[in-house]
Amino acid sequence: MNQTPSHSCLFICSGEHDTLPQAELTAILEAEEYPFNLLWQRKRTILAKVSPIGAKRVVQRAALVNNASTVEIEATTNVTSILRELKEINFSQWLQPNTKFGVKVTRVQRESVPIDVDALQGEMGSIIWQSLDGRVNIDLKRPDVLFLGVIVGERFFFGLHLASRERAGFTQRRSPLRPFFVPSAIHPKTARLMVNLSRVTPGNLFLDPFCGTGGLLLEAAEIGCVPIGVDISPTILAGCRENLEHYLVAFNGVLGDARSPPFGSESINAIATDPPYGRSSSTKGAKVRGLIQSSLECLADLLNPEKYLCLALPFEQFTEDIIPFDAFRVIETHTMRIHRSLRRFIVVLQRK
């Protein structure tokens, strides 16, 4: 077990979905065994009791959590009160002589609270500098230590910035930039989200039984898992190999049917998959609903007890009777809009 949740931390999330950022945060902390307690969620922010190391790890893995900071001050958006509380903090715990530091104040969405953000940043930086007798340096471009103030409605949070989500990798792994491309491939951020919801741990075996061009496998590899893919099409599987090798990921693909994957019972630690939605070439003529039902029955046998499966389903295909309840319990479901005319259910199941 990792460190106890000794600190309040604030997470700023993407605005792409109402419930999935909190679900992803929870899944990552559970997977990596960081004790935590969710305090509240408002707009694009989540306040949680969790160790700073755990908070940083969330951002390193997440698709929908943009950054994290500790909470040293929680106050109303009254500048006088904020500055008064700031003067009570011992900044020497983070700043040594000649350390470069910066202060950034940000609003979540476009809050209507009348605060001059630039002026507040300047006053806060001055107070910190004076508290250390000018033995530190203010550097807004390349600080060694960054302090973050966040305005959420009529509340103000201030603390040590812990981590920001790396964005470039998702862009570089987009389907059109891969050597083998099909238009229906899942977006890297959605793939990472699903991998995280499966609660896989680095070093564990991760399976996508409908691996397609390898989007989920790439994201599993990025967080340190051992990705295994199954696909029924030799052409698609060859393309998957090409994509993984392009990103220097070892290929562990198997030609096979998700309804009878060639693995032993209880041999897999986590599963996430985005089954084909009725394209005849990808289902080999099988009806989508029957294909998913049969696959879930077989996958239950492969998955270790109490481990998780994350499944994307077309909106019109999801009803609870598709799930074999003798093998799985439903942990959560979310509706995700892909574009104007396409919605998916994201379903997380736990093996009994």
173 pLDDT higher than 80: yes
Mean pLDDT, to the nearest integer, of 176-185? 91
CA distance readout (Å), 187 to 3, 180, 193, 282, 335: 33, 14, 10, 18, 16
198 and 108 within one domain: no
Domain carrying residue 17: 1-165
158 and 55 within one domain: yes
pLDDT digits (tens, 9 = 90+) for 202-213: 999 999 999 999
Tokens of 215: 């989007």
Question: Which of residues 109, 138, 165 is at a domain's end?
Answer: 165
140 and 14 within one domain: yes
Four-residue CA torsion sign, 177, 22, 343, 314:
positive
Residue 175: count of CB within 10 angstroms of its CB? 20
CB 120 within 8 A of CB 80: no
244 and 152 within one domain: no
122 and 92 within one domain: yes
H helices within 115-231, ranges in order?
Answer: 117-131, 168-172, 188-197, 215-222
Contacts (Cβ under 8 Å, ≥6 apart) of 260:
298
Q: How far is CA 76 from the centre of its chain?
A: 30
220 and 175 within one domain: yes
Please tell me the total count of domains within the chain. Answer: 2
Mean pLDDT, to the nearest integer, of 60-80? 96
Average model confidence (pLDDT) across the chain: 92
Question: Which of residues 165, 185, 202 is at a domain's end?
Answer: 165
pLDDT band, very low/low/confident/very high, at 281 (cuts 50, 70, 90): very low
337 and 191 within one domain: yes
144 pLDDT higher than 80: yes
CB 271 within 8 A of CB 220: no
Question: Which of residues 132, 165, 198 is at a domain's end?
Answer: 165
d(CA 2, CA 111): 36
182 and 288 within one domain: yes
102 and 44 within one domain: yes
CATH number for the domain that contains residue 185: 3.40.50.150
Task: Assign 71 to helix, strand or coil.
Answer: coil
pLDDT band, very low/low/confident/very high, at 78 (cuts 50, 70, 90): very high
Mean pLDDT, to the nearest integer, of 234-248? 97
328 and 299 within one domain: yes
Q: What percent of the chain lies above the pLDDT cut of 70?
A: 93
